[in-house]
Amino acid sequence: MTETETGGNSETETNGWTTDRRHGSVYRRRLAFLGKSVTVGVIGGMAAFTYSLADMMTVSIDPVFVLVPLALSGVFAHLVAYDLHESIRVGLVGFFVGAITLVGSWVAPLWILPYTSGARDILLPKLTGTAVVAAIIVYGAVYLGAYLSALTVGAYVST
């Protein structure tokens, strides 16, 4: 539709898939997008790491309570976005940032603690495999479940 067909400003007639002009400069949008994605992903990844290694927690709480920040990171991935296009981008990038955070925090002690190179060679495949399984099962299920639930509720409410 052209501007003359809509009888006014064509900017208000478009959706989030067709234009981003109303939201400032390109660099500002990209920086905001990366900030939202990294924040959501790091919070979710660290919550999944804490849940997966609940026996190392110093506070005696039920590990299921740690799933709350993980689920909230999935919900916030949808809520902090201004439209569906950005919501999908923030959700996917946040998911991968969180998975990398989870795996990275799981294998980081191999380089932080004084292990020999032989011990690292033996432990690295085992720890990485366990971390990837935890990322797929725990992080993937809770984060994506909460994100898709928020997306479904948001679509239902907006209609």
Assess if residue 73 is contained within a domain.
yes
The mean pLDDT of 19-48, rounded to a whole number, is: 87
Assess if residue 153 is contained within a domain.
yes
* Res 7 pLDDT > 90: no
More confident residue, 4 or 25: 25
**pLDDT at res. 20:** 55
Task: Mean pLDDT check: name the lowest of 7-11, 35-39, 61-65, 130-134.
Answer: 7-11
Assess if residue 129 is contained within a domain.
yes
Model's pTM, two decimal places? 0.81
**117-134 vs 26-52: helix crossing angle, rounded to 10:** 100
Token pair listed for 109: 């002690």
- Residue 99 confidence class, pLDDT cut points 50, 70, 90: very high
* Res 54 pLDDT > 50: yes
State how far the alpha carbon of 126 is from the alpha carbons of 54, 97, 122, in Å: 19, 22, 8
DSSP per-residue letters across 52-95: HTGGG-SS---GGGGHHHHHHHHHHHHHT-SSHHHHHHHHHHHH
Domain extent at residue 47: 25-158
- Residue 2 confidence class, pLDDT cut points 50, 70, 90: very low
Assess if residue 106 is contained within a domain.
yes
Percent of the chain at pLDDT exceeding 90: 70
How many domains does the structure of the chain reveal? 1
The mean pLDDT of 58-74, rounded to a whole number, is: 91
Q: Which residue has the tokens 């064509």?
A: 10
Q: Which residue has the tokens 């007639």?
A: 13
Please give the helix or strand (H or E) that residue 127 lies within, else none. Answer: helix 117-134
Assess if residue 63 is contained within a domain.
yes
Tens digit of each residue's pLDDT (9 = 90 or more) over 111-131: 999 999 999 999 999 999 999
Assess if residue 91 is contained within a domain.
yes
Q: Residue 67 in contact with residue 141, Cβ under 8 Å? A: no
Task: Mean pLDDT check: name the lowest of 13-27, 43-57, 59-73, 89-103.
Answer: 13-27
The mean pLDDT of 4-15, rounded to a whole number, is: 49
Assess if residue 16 is contained within a domain.
no
More confident residue, 42 or 57: 42
d(CA 16, CA 37): 18
Assess if residue 36 is contained within a domain.
yes
State how far the alpha carbon of 66 is from the alpha carbons of 24, 71, 143, 156, in Å: 37, 9, 12, 28
